């Protein structure tokens, strides 16, 4: 299981996801360009010392990430019809989170093997990307019995 961030643009959210991944022993793929300098003080402050403890792979582009990808690409998006709770996760899946400001472009949607949404109260648009990533990663790890011992 992996988690990937497509061109993240809010450093605190990226750092929160990296902290989550470090604590759960999940590698993180960062697909550049980022909307912030990776060593920003805000980024480091939000990630605390967990950033150094996480397995982070930075990809200079979408194409480079796709070349390195193995397993299914599972996109979390508000545009999906399938709820994440109805999906059967595999240990080789990569959960992909889009930009906080704009999500992902159409070519990324088309490349995904699965597109999932988190069911929300009607009339509300979306959760914070770090919260969404944590919810779905938790469900995925529960299904595959992948939490650290």
Q: Which residues contact 86 (CB under 8 A, 6 or more apart)?
A: none
State the pTM of this model: 0.93
Tokens in use for 115? 């597109």
What domains does the chain contain, in order, with CATH numbers? Answer: 2-144 (3.40.1280.10)
Helix count and strand count (H, E) for the chain: 6, 7
Condensed to tens digits (0 to 9), the pLDDT of residues 26-67 reads 999 999 998 877 665 655 665 567 778 899 999 999 999 999
Torsion of CA 6, 10, 13, 19, to 10 degrees: 80
| Structure-model confidence comparison of residues 108 and 40, the more confident one | 108
């Amino acid at each position: 299981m992996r988690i990937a961030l497509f061109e993240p643009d809010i450093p605190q959210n990226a750092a929160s996801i990296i902290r989550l991944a470090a604590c759960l022993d999940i590698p993180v793929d960062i697909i550049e360009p980022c909307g912030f300098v990776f060593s920003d003080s805000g980024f480091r402050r939000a990630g605390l010392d967990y950033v150094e403890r996480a397995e982070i792979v930075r990809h200079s582009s979408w194409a480079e990430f796709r070349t390195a990808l193995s397993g299914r690409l599972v996109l979390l998006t508000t545009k999906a019809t399938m709820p994440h709770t109805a999906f059967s996760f595999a240990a080789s899946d990569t959960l992909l989170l889009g930009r906080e400001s704009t999500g992902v472009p159409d070519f990324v949607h088309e490349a995904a093997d699965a597109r999932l949404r988190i069911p929300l109260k009607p009339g509300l648009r979306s959760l914070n990307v770090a919260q969404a990533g944590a919810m779905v990663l938790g469900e995925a790890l529960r299904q595959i019995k992948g939490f650290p011992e």
